[in-house]
Amino acid sequence: MATQILLNNIEVPGLTGIEVYRKLGGYAAVEKVLKTMTPDEVSAEVKKSGLRGRGGAGFPAGMKWSFLDRKVDKPRYFICNFDESEPGTFKDRHLGSLNPHLLIEGMILGSFALGARTSYIYIRGELFYILNILEKAIDEAYRSGYLGENILNSGYSLDLHCHPGGGAYICGEETALIESLEGKRGNPRIKPPFPAVVGLYGCPTVVNNVETIANLPWILQNGGDAYAALGTQSSKGTKLISACGHIRKPGVYEVEMGLPVEEFIYSDQYCGGIRNGNKLKAVIAGGSSVPVLPAELILRTDRGEQRLLSYESLSVGGFESGTMLGSGGFIVLDETACIVKNLLTFARFYHHESCGQCSPCREGTGWMEKILQRIENGRGTSKDIDLLVHISKHIEGNTICPLGDAAAWPVASAIRHFRQEFEDHVKLQKCPLSR
Amino acid sequence: MLEGKNNNILFSDEILELANRIISRYPEGRQKSALIPLLHLAQAENGGWLSPEVMDKVAGFLDIQPIEVYEVATFYTMFNLQPVGKCVIEVCRTGPCWLNGGEELLAHFEKRLGIKPGETTPDGLFTLKVVECLAACGNAPVVQVGITYHENMNPGKADQLIADWSDGKERSHTNPYR
């Protein structure tokens, strides 16, 4: 069995309660850190660990923390991004609902390192049932002295609160999240200034993903070097992969970075192969935003190397023949799935979720949805296919936040790798795979 | 504790206490941060939707301008700006749910309830809504009713869900804080 950092106790009955969590060694990292370490020492361990942001961008967490403006005389905020909404991604939900204290312990450690006295867990409103689980766990942590005034007599005090969203994918973008937390529409801000300098209420702020934060207890307990010993050169530690679509065993799996994609798809320990003995057609490896790859390119790079679950291996070949690890939302399509229809659902998603600030995204996503609807319904033309590419190119890079890129990449990649299927829709004037 | 102003019978006593506790989680003068949580409460307290009158009351309660409430309520998809049925069924239609029969499931609900997405049954019992990814793709297709997720759905489970809510005794949109 591969090393499990996040899910090792996930099936233990009663894990959501603090007693069971503590019995399994929970809150030991908080005890150790608050009694024996300084905030800077905590940050140094996180930097050493090589942990990269698990929300999708993969930015080194320790470096993100180092940007925090520590000179200005203002409160600092540490925020957990639990706005999990990227299609195909359901890892944070799994972790947060089954092991809430792990997230809370990570929040305490991160808040201590950054000098935050009030921290928030921003959770998408649809997941209110998990907010309730978290609030119960937070109450327990207060009663046990891990939150509140003068935690474990360390002199450090922290308040932790949950904050529900109202249903908006864009609030997973950190500046939109901050706007939303301030009680506004989730319109992303222009960067710079970055949240590390001007964040929540104009104060220095760090926003990290659930999975990133949940890694902190293990890193602080075992040391940054131990974490960095796991995984690959540029992808340290483990990663939660949420696998769905046409596989025999959908679910959330913790893999050590560097596991071969082929093993992940076909091993009974993970996805268990393609359902009904069908053939693998395509994979969207890191949530709906990342480029789709046909079977041959997700299993092997264009250089013939085995493709691995790591930031660097999945991106071999750039966008011509590679993709991204993204959020770890692993969507598998078998031979019965229509690429155009799948893409249409994504285009509709991004159109629905565009905040509307930037015209290339606001108008472009709706335009792409309409064209894809036309092609899927057999009323498209060859020109439509080129038009889609054209629109996607003019959205990409021309918006305040990455939602525009996220909407453009799936379209461009689907046409790059599956152009014939689009042409078939046009030629047959219907979906060749429609049932 | 920073207390909400001008309650005007917006919230019952129990919810009022909760609303004030939520406001106290944000720094003084930042009570607007409580807007989204309070809109969830206001919606639950007012039959599952937000009328202009209710939004105005929320504005008064938080001491902010009504337009600040409207612009937020219209941005987030969980807030219903029209009356809804007692049970609101939200069906996910994004890729992973579609791959696993989400479209057929939606068609089944439409047929059984005799309504299209966005509509409410004439008896006021059910509203059908389509929503985007609910982040439960491993158990697709997925349906949400109130704060409850219904996963690995199929026509049989859909029929059962409809049967469970057909007596009209309860509302799906009640206080989400449990």
Q: What percent of chain A has pLDDT over 90?
A: 99
Domain boundary among B73, B106, B123: B73
- The Cα angle at residue A192 between residues A189 and A194, in degrees rounded to 5: 80
Mutate to test the interface with B, among A7, A94, A126, A335 (most CBs of B within 10 A): A126
Q: What is the mean pLDDT of residues A97-116?
A: 98
Q: What percent of chain A has pLDDT over 70?
A: 100
Could you tell me if the ipTM is greater than 0.90?
Answer: yes
Domain count, chain B: 2
Confidence of residue B6 (pLDDT cuts 50, 70, 90): low
pLDDT of residue A435: 59
A299: its two tokens: 């299993």
- Inter-chain residue contact A166 with B39, CB threshold 8 Å: yes
B169 to chain A, minimum CA–CA distance in Å? 22
Domain count, chain A: 3
Mutate to test the interface with A, among B55, B94, B104, B144 (most CBs of A within 10 A): B94
A256 to chain B, minimum CA–CA distance in Å? 20
A214: its two tokens: 């949940």
In a shared domain, residues A246 and A369: no
Residue range A230-246, pLDDT digits in tens: 999 999 999 999 999 99
What pTM did the predictor assign?
0.97
In a domain, B174, yes or no: no
Q: Which domain holds residue A392?
A: 339-428
pLDDT of residue A171: 98
Those residues with Cβ within 8 angstroms of residue A9's Cβ, 6 or more apart along the chain or in another chain: A15, A24, A99
- Evaluate if residue A408 carries a pLDDT over 60: yes
- Inter-chain residue contact A345 with B40, CB threshold 8 Å: no
- Inter-chain residue contact B33 with A166, CB threshold 8 Å: no
B110 to chain A, minimum CA–CA distance in Å? 19
Work out the mean pLDDT of chain A and round it to a whole number. 97
Confidence of residue B8 (pLDDT cuts 50, 70, 90): low
Of B98, B100, B132, the CB nearest to A352: B132
Q: How many Å apart are CA B143 and CA B97, to the nearest integer? A: 10
In a shared domain, residues A259 and A201: no
In a shared domain, residues B143 and B108: yes
Mutate to test the interface with B, among A10, A136, A184 (most CBs of B within 10 A): A184
In a shared domain, residues A305 and A414: no
Residue range A217-230, pLDDT digits in tens: 999 999 999 999 99
Confidence of residue B1 (pLDDT cuts 50, 70, 90): very low
Confidence of residue A3 (pLDDT cuts 50, 70, 90): confident
Those residues with Cβ within 8 angstroms of residue B29's Cβ, 6 or more apart along the chain or in another chain: none
A73: its two tokens: 């005389």
Of B72, B132, B136, the CB nearest to A93: B136
Residue range A241-295, pLDDT digits in tens: 999 999 999 999 999 999 999 999 999 999 999 999 999 999 999 999 999 999 9
Confidence of residue B5 (pLDDT cuts 50, 70, 90): low
Those residues with Cβ within 8 angstroms of residue A163's Cβ, 6 or more apart along the chain or in another chain: A120, A121, A122, A123, A181, B25, B33, B36, B37
Percent helix, strand and coil across chain A, each rounded to 5?
45, 15, 40
Domain boundary among A173, A206, A228: A228
In a shared domain, residues A160 and A306: no
- Evaluate if residue A206 carries a pLDDT over 50: yes
pLDDT of residue A77: 98
The CATH number linked to A371 is: 1.20.1440.230
In a shared domain, residues B39 and B94: no
Domain boundary among B44, B73, B102: B73
The answer to whether the CB of A299 falls within 8 A of the CB of A281 is no
Chain B neighbours among A 146-175 (CB < 8 Å)? 159, 161, 163-169
Q: Which domain holds residue B160?
A: 87-165
Residue range A163-198, pLDDT digits in tens: 999 999 999 999 999 999 999 999 999 999 999 999
The CATH number linked to A83 is: 3.40.50.11540
The DSSP letter of residue A274 is B
pLDDT of residue A41: 98
Domain boundary among A334, A353, A383: A334
| CA A94 remoteness from chain centre | 13
Q: In this structure, how many other beta carbons lie within 10 angstroms of the beta carbon of residue A398?
A: 15
B59 to chain A, minimum CA–CA distance in Å? 12
In a shared domain, residues A253 and A381: no
